[in-house]
Amino acid sequence: MPRESSRQNLLFATLLCLAGCFAARPGVPLPIPADGILVEEFGRVPAGDVVERTFVLVNEGLQPLGLELDASSCDCLVSPTTAVITAGQTLAVEMRVDTGTLQGPVKMVAAFATTDPDRRTLRLILAGEVVPPVTVEPSVLFFGRVRSGGAHVREIVIQPSRAGVQIRRVFTDGGGLGLRKVGSVAGTGGLAPGLVLEVALPRNLAPGGFEGGLVVETTDVWIPKYPIPVLAIVLSE
């Protein structure tokens, strides 16, 4: 009987240890630096993801610290927007960013006015890269310097950048461009196949800068139409 009781106690202690080991832990408290800037990197995420991070601020001063968000500083959700951190205490500030309309390197800044005479502004920054639904090589199709009347052709490769995204079609968006499919790119890692296209400038070009474009229509719900600029410098005769 005592042996069975010991086993039960050991099992109970083990469960308590596991519960403690796997319980969610708050973020590390962050003292507010002299420049008032705290940065959290979120890496690379697909467009449409929601990025959420929590900044745990600590007031290392001897006086209470008041904070109030400048609502126009960040196109994101911040909570709380106003607060007081008493001396020696912490405050968890949550930032939430919807990346549905973002592309490329991004930096979202939540600026707070503070009551600290030495740090009038506190800036919480979320930085990272939002990956569009397709990768394009080159991302901007630049022909360089060309002459009117000549044949100017370049290739461009378009591939889905994540699983679940497919290319519906690619079409021209002004400029009188020629467009022809010349190959395919096999999908890897669960990605759908890509395209190799040949893009041709119109022969009758006016001197100066040329601006045209392609549009990639995809199954992505956030960025269903992805633009590709096509540029050239047309020399005068």
Closest CA to 118 of 35, 30, 29: 35
Whole-structure pTM value = 0.64
Confidence at residue 236, expressed as pLDDT on a 0 to 100 scale? 84
- What share of the chain has pLDDT > 70, as a percent? 88
pLDDT in tens, 129-147: 998 899 999 999 999 999 9
Confidence at residue 105, expressed as pLDDT on a 0 to 100 scale? 92
Question: Listing from the earlier edge strand, what are the strands of the sheet with 50-58?
Answer: 30-31, 50-58, 90-98, 77-79
Confidence at residue 93, expressed as pLDDT on a 0 to 100 scale? 95
> 158 with 134: CB under 8 angstroms?
yes
Structure tokens at 190: 């669960």
Structure tokens at 166: 């497919």
Structure tokens at 74: 């960040």
DSSP H or E stretch at residue 7: helix 2-22
Confidence at residue 13, expressed as pLDDT on a 0 to 100 scale? 36
Which residues of the chain fall short of a pLDDT of 70? 1-27, 72-73
For the domain bounded by 134-235, which CATH number is listed?
2.60.40.10
Closest CA to 181 of 195, 169, 194: 195
Q: Which CATH superfamily is domain 26-131 in?
A: Immunoglobulins (2.60.40.10)
The domains of the chain are located at: 26-131, 134-235
Fold: same for 26-131 and 134-235: yes
pLDDT in tens, 183-224: 999 988 889 999 999 999 999 999 999 999 999 999 988 889
Cα angle for residues 30, 52, 86 (degrees, 5° grid): 35
Confidence at residue 223, expressed as pLDDT on a 0 to 100 scale? 85
- In the 8-state DSSP scheme, what is residue 219? S
How far from chain centre, in Å, is Cα 10? 48
